[in-house]
Amino acid sequence: MKDQARSWWGLRRAYGALFAEVDAGGFGPAPEGQLSAEQIVAHLVANDRLCGLVDQLGLAAEAPVATHLREGFDLIVDEPLPWSRTLDLHMRVHLPKHQSQLHVLRS
């Protein structure tokens, strides 16, 4: 349960940093073939709803699930992982990537 609480707080912190980037606003157009700020935020809203399920998983958070993740060349996962590990990757890799994308669109 302690690990789940730590994961929950880590996820909230990661979203907090991302929301600060969104709140800063002033985004320019996306380069061709890239997501716009609006598309990134819409994608994150959908993901946030899915991540909200972590509070309801309890012990099931350790059940392995088929996981297919691709973050450019930095992360490629195509194997069963526990939900808790999938959410950890979301927190440590996926959200910071989108935060960086938003920062670039504002720069």
Cα–Cα dist 26/59, whole Å: 42
Tens-digit pLDDT profile for residues 40-86: 999 888 777 666 676 677 788 788 989 888 777 777 889 999 888 88
Contact at 8 Å (CB) between 95 and 15? yes
pTM of the model: 0.77
* CA–CA distance, 16 with 34 (Å, rounded to integer): 23
User: What type of residue is 9?
Assistant: W
